[in-house]
Amino acid sequence: MPRRSLSQSCNPPNSHVMHRRQYLQTMATAGVANAITLAAASGQSGQGERIKRAVKFHMVKEDLSILDKFKLLSDLGFDGTEIHVTAKVDRREVNEAIEKTGVVVHGFLNSDKPDLVHAIDSAKYYGATSVLVVAGRVNAANPYDQVYQQQQDRLRAAVPHAEKQNINLLIENVWNGFLLSPLEMKRFIDELESPAIGAYFDVGNVVRTGWPDQWIRILGDRIKKLDIKEYSRKKQMQEGLRKGFDVEIGDGDCDWPAVRRALRDIGYESGWATAEVPGGDRERLADIAKRMEKVLS
């Protein structure tokens, strides 16, 4: 179904929901500000756009202070990172590290935790633009149709606060038995009728059963951010389902040239791409940076 603007939605009186155009203009202004900060920090102002690189903060395994971890990411060419809801970090130290290094916290990882208000406020505190959301889990005790409705209700209740704080709620495609095709994920997002709802597309998670480039083209501009990892169908067949992830970025069955073409087709040329793979020390993170550059450039 077509996505309606917020002005076309039937909202109750005194709703905090913003008009779609107004919301997107606000988000665009924030995005420009972040881009200027990154460009100034890297000395690359005016040199054109590119997909920005990041890793999850818990992937940095060096025994360092928060500031020195951010400096390490800067040294290796990463533009940003993401903080998980379970991370035990001093929030003030994180913000000081952002100011001193130019490496930003672009997102807050809430996984399937129920408190979206806390996640939205945490993202806002760090100067991030998104909260990653795992929408439900289907199993014998949680029927598909019930999970669908429950998760839409959960997200719909959080939308006014997300829009007020200019934070996107981005649904990740994970192995949770839910939203199993790009057509269904597209429908799920569109039915929520909010510009604050989008997709956090995990490239590697769909290789087992589909083709990432097809998901990208179908989801289109609903994709706001990317997770980057690999999957090997051969290892899956020989060693088991989860073993398919035990392959380095660029060495699995993901068709990265097709992914790049699809991203260009939907105009995704300056968003975020965050590695979600086993982390490690400086040498390991440098290898991740090199592999991301190879598959995305």
pLDDT category of residue 267 using cuts at 50, 70 and 90: very high
pLDDT surpassing 80 at residue 10: no
Determine phi and psi for 147, rounding to 5 degrees.
Answer: -65, -40
- Separation of alpha carbons 42 and 37, rounded Å: 9
- Separation of alpha carbons 111 and 132, rounded Å: 6
Q: Which residue has the tokens 């007020």?
A: 164
pLDDT surpassing 80 at residue 27: no
Amino acid, single-letter form, for residue 94: V
- Rg of the chain taking only CA atoms, in angstroms: 19
Phi-psi region of 2 (alpha: psi -120 to 50; beta: other; left: phi over 0): beta
Indicate the average pLDDT of the chain.
Answer: 89
For residue 25, what are its two tokens? 């203009």
- What single DSSP character describes residue 17? P
Domains observed in the chain: 17-296 (3.20.20.150)
Q: What confidence tens digit (pLDDT) does each residue in 122-134 have?
A: 999 999 999 999 9
- Separation of alpha carbons 216 and 258, rounded Å: 10
Q: What confidence tens digit (pLDDT) does each residue in 132-184 have?
A: 999 999 999 999 999 999 999 999 999 999 999 999 999 999 999 999 999 99
pTM of the model: 0.85
Average pLDDT (15-38) is: 47
